[in-house]
Structures are given as C-alpha cells and as structure tokens.
Amino acid sequence: MRRRLHHGDVDGKKHEHLVGADLNDLSEPLLGNNDDYKANKQLEVQRLEAILYDEKRKEHLHWTFLFSHIISEWAQWLANVLLGSGSFIVRILTSPSAIAIGPSKKFLPPLLTPLQESRLRTLQKRLEVPFDGSCSEHQDALRKLWRSAYPDRELPGLKSEDWKDMGWQGNDPSTDFRGGGFISLENLIFFARTYPEAFQNLLNKKEGNRAEWEYPFAVAGINISFMLVQMLDIQSGLPTSLSGVRFLEFLSHDESAFDELFCVAFKLMDIHWLARRASYMEFNEVIKSTRMQLEKELAIEDVTSVKDLPAYNLLR
C-alpha cells in the first residue's frame, strides 16, 4: 500500500495528509537524483577526511615541537648542573620534589641515606616516649633541668612551689607535659646546656619590655616542642610537608637537629612576643606567627642545616 501526499479541503482550507504506502515501494531518494546524491555524498566524505587528517597532522606537529622543546630545555639544565656542581647526584636524591600533591601542598619525600634513616628512626622513637613522673630517669631529668636553670639554688622536691619560678603552672611539673612528651624536657635541658646565656635571658625575661602577664617559660617550651613536631610532620613515616622534607637534610648534618631547631624556635618566639607586645592570652597567636617564619626560613634554598637559618643568629 502506497502513501501519497494529498491536499484536501477542510472547512474551506487546504490541508496536507499522508495516504498509506509501503516504504519498500520507494524506488528513488526523496531529494534529487540518486547518482548525484551519491557523488555529492562521496565528495563530502572525502572533504571531511581531508580536514580530519590536516587537524591530526597539526596536532602531531604541535606535540612533537613541545616535547622537543622540553627535552632541549632539560638537556640544557642538566649540562649547567653538571658543569656547575660536583654533587649533582646527591642533590637530586636528597632534594624534595618540586611538584606539590593536591591543595594541601604535600611533597614527595626524597630518598634517605642510611644515616638519615637511622637518625629519623631514633628521633621518632624519642617522640613516642610520654613523660612519666614515676620514672626515675624522668625524675632525674627534671633535676638536671633545675640545676642548669638555677645552679646556685637548692634543689627542691619533685613537688614544690619553687617549680613555679621556672614557669610550671603548678607545684608538680609532671602535670604540665600532656602531649609534649619526654622529648620536650630533653629539649629544655639541651637548650640550657648548649646555649646557657640565651637560655638564662629567656628564663629570667632579661630582654625587652615585658608584659605584666608573661608566658610561663617551661610550659612555653613544651608548646614549642609540640609545634615543631606538627610542623615537621615527623611523628611516623616520612614527612610530606616541605618543612619536614627540608628537615631531613638537617639530620644528615647533625643528629641533634631537632634540639637545635627547638632553641632557635624558642628564641624566635620570644622575639615575636616582644614585637607584638603580647600578653598571656595571645600566646597561641605568637606560636602561629613563629611557625610561619620558621616555615619560610626552612624553604630557603641554600639552607642545609639549622645553623644556616637566619633566625639561628638570634642565639649568638
């Protein structure tokens, strides 16, 4: 049965309607001559293929040029490094990746030397030790700190009001350690013995115009230890922060790098405290600004040890 298009009068108007027809009965295309249609279609396909080929060729040439340029630039950089430095391999293996991972600015840690790996493991074991007031070793460490801080004063008992003079909040120092751990006490002892003059100046608040409500010295030290652990990301595994990755390089030069950095951070914190004319309630803000400056100094390219940090000069 065929379908044909007819015009019919409905309500005085012409309307088009289809009359049924089998689609198989259509022997020619709906538009134009069949041969012309095929020829035009073939030309259209050929033209499209030519356009696609041209676009692919341009894209291929673009990527070829780009990769050639990158390889050329890399070769030039490599040549400059080899000519300008005899320690190229060491620098590559111990430097952090320049590519940050995600929005949190995490970095790929470098390959560690056996010495770095050993020292990092030792430091991480120190971080795992909480302060234990019932441990004789920890009690002896507290006494060492007192003797270093007040060599001319009588050693008080482990629970005494005298401990408040050092900046403990109560008469029992063991209650102030909390998350600081035993390493924070070790940091204070190291500071007192390695830089006694700077230690005494901070302990006795000898420099600058001090606030009426000063930060408590010993408790401030515990907070600084905790801040450094967080900043360097060294609790476990390999650090992925830029500061932590750079700190690994410090360990290759000095096994006491963490204790040295503690001394720098403490002195720097006091400088920020004085600059802000801060009081006790602003201590957390001072710690934050101290961390920010340390992170900036750790990012300096030529800094390879704690003693290279600009803030280290504050201890002299």
pLDDT one-digit tens code per residue, 275-299: 999 999 999 999 999 999 999 999 9
Residue 211's SS3 state is: coil
Residue 14's SS3 state is: strand
Q: Between these two residues, 59 and 288, which has the higher pLDDT value?
A: 288
Q: Between these two residues, 82 and 126, which has the higher pLDDT value?
A: 126
For range 124-136, the mean pLDDT:
96
Looking at residue 285, its pLDDT comes to 97
Supply the pTM of this predicted model: 0.69
Provide the mean pLDDT of the chain. 78
Distance (Å, whole) CA 224 – CA 185: 11
- Is 220's pLDDT higher than 90? yes
Residue 8's SS3 state is: strand
Distance (Å, whole) CA 289 – CA 296: 11
For range 115-140, the mean pLDDT:
96
Looking at residue 59, its pLDDT comes to 55
- Is 91's pLDDT higher than 90? no
CB neighbours of residue 94 within 10 Å: 18
**Residue 105 banded pLDDT, cuts 50, 70, 90:** low
Looking at residue 48, its pLDDT comes to 54
206, 275 contact by CB (below 8 A): no
b (16+ CB within 10 A) / e for 156-178 = beeeeebbebbbbeeeebbebbe
For range 207-236, the mean pLDDT:
94
Residue 59's SS3 state is: helix
Residues 6+ apart with CB under 8 A from 38: none
- Is 34's pLDDT higher than 50? no
Vertex 109, ends 80 and 311: CA angle to 5°? 80
Instruction: Identify the weakest region by mean pLDDT among 51-55, 221-225, 252-256, 292-296.
Output: 51-55
Helix (H) or strand (E) holding 57: helix 34-84
Backbone angles phi, psi at 9, to 5 degrees: -95, 120
Total residue count of the chain as it appears in this document: 316
pLDDT by residue (tens digit) across 171-199?
A: 999 999 987 899 999 999 999 999 999 99
Distance (Å, whole) CA 85 – CA 263: 33
- Is 11's pLDDT higher than 90? no
- Is 72's pLDDT higher than 90? no
**Residue 33 banded pLDDT, cuts 50, 70, 90:** very low
Q: 145-150: long-range contacts at Cβ-Cβ below 8 A with a sequence spacing of 24 or more?
A: 145/185, 145/188, 145/189, 145/192, 148/189, 148/192, 148/193, 148/196, 148/199, 149/192, 149/199, 149/200, 149/203
Looking at residue 109, its pLDDT comes to 66
Q: Between these two residues, 238 and 164, which has the higher pLDDT value?
A: 164
